[in-house]
Amino acid sequence: MTAAVSASLWGRRNLRLLAWFGPILIATGAAGLLLPPPPPAVAPMMMSNARPYDVFHIAFGLLGVGLVLARRPRAAALFNLGFGGFDLYQAAAGLLGLFPAGVFQLRPADHVVHVAFGALLAAFGARFFVVARAESARQESQLH
């Protein structure tokens, strides 16, 4: 078994990614709550600063940091996969006017960020589970 395809390695990668991403979510949410709204002329080019959106970021950032501190690679991978998938959904929801676009007051800049982070997070999370399943199947086949 090579290190490049080990679930352990992908678990560590998911933890590292979440160790970086969780605090970004918290900082983004806190900034949205603490900073004044942007001037109307530039507001459409900025990201949303709706309160529910900011609280959402803080809550999920804290959850992510908690998973990292608990050193739970499988849970971090599941978080990354789920949050990444939801980010991708939010980009589509914003373009199509679906929930939670109205509540979060999503703007075009949000869509760009959601696609970029969503793809990265979902890819890392999915890779962990694909590799873990392959390892499990390999071990199962060696028993028989």
Give this prediction's pTM: 0.92
> Residue 77: what pLDDT?
98
In a domain, 18, yes or no: yes
Residues with Cβ within 8 Å of residue 92, at least 6 apart in sequence: 98
Residue range of the domain that includes 22: 7-35+44-143
For residue 88, tell me if it sits in a domain. yes
What pLDDT is attached to residue 6?
93
Confirm whether 67 is domain-assigned.
yes
What's the total number of domains in the chain?
1
Virtual CA dihedral for 91, 23, 122, 137, nearest 10 degrees? -160
- 1 within a domain of the structure (yes/no): no
pLDDT in tens, the chain (144 residues): 444 579 999 999 999 999 999 999 999 999 999 999 888 898 888 999 899 999 999 999 999 999 999 999 999 999 999 999 999 999 999 999 999 999 999 999 999 999 999 999 999 999 999 999 999 898 888 876
pLDDT, residue 1, reads 46
Residue 2 maps to a domain: no
Share of the chain above pLDDT 70, in %: 97
